[in-house]
Amino acid sequence: MEAFVIMTLVLFEVALWQWRVAITVRGNLLGGLIDRRVSKWHVSVRVFAPADTDLVPALRDRGWPVTATRGIGHRGPVEVLFIAIDQRRTGELEHALRSLAPDASWTIERISSSRGLLAVAA
């Protein structure tokens, strides 16, 4: 009888830990999605694209507040773009970048404090 009680307690503890892990993972995934879609953070998007004189005007025509400079990357000349936007619009910007500059790479970082950011046209 004692072995049965011990086995039951062990199974109950294992099940309880699995439940806790499932809730934590679900909460983190759901929390990440909600944070990205709902939060009012601003982000800085840094883009590194192969040199293309049409890229910056195309992004500006779509309403993105782009600051651009040129640089030398490990594969030759590059456009280095800086774009500060509302975090909720990162998906839209990434879509534009994929279509306009398929070979570009970028990083996205949250801005904790800023002054004088341009508003993005909706």
Shared domain check, 64 and 7? no
Shared domain check, 75 and 56? yes
Shared domain check, 60 and 6? no
Residues 65/85, Cβ–Cβ less than 8 Å: yes
pLDDT of residue 35: 61
Shared domain check, 53 and 19? no
Mean pLDDT within 68-73: 93
Shared domain check, 49 and 25? no
Instruction: Please check the confidence at residue 19 and state whether its pLDDT lies above 90.
Output: no
Shared domain check, 97 and 46? yes
Shared domain check, 28 and 14? yes
Domain hosting 17: range is 1-38
Hey, what are 110's tokens?
Answer: 């949250």
Shared domain check, 67 and 11? no
Domain count for the chain, please give it: 2
pLDDT of residue 37: 63
For residues 11 and 66, the model is more confident at 66
Q: How far apart are CA 13 and CA 17, in angstroms?
A: 6
Within 8 A by CB and 6+ apart from 49, the residues are 55, 78, 79, 81, 97, 101, 103, 104, 105
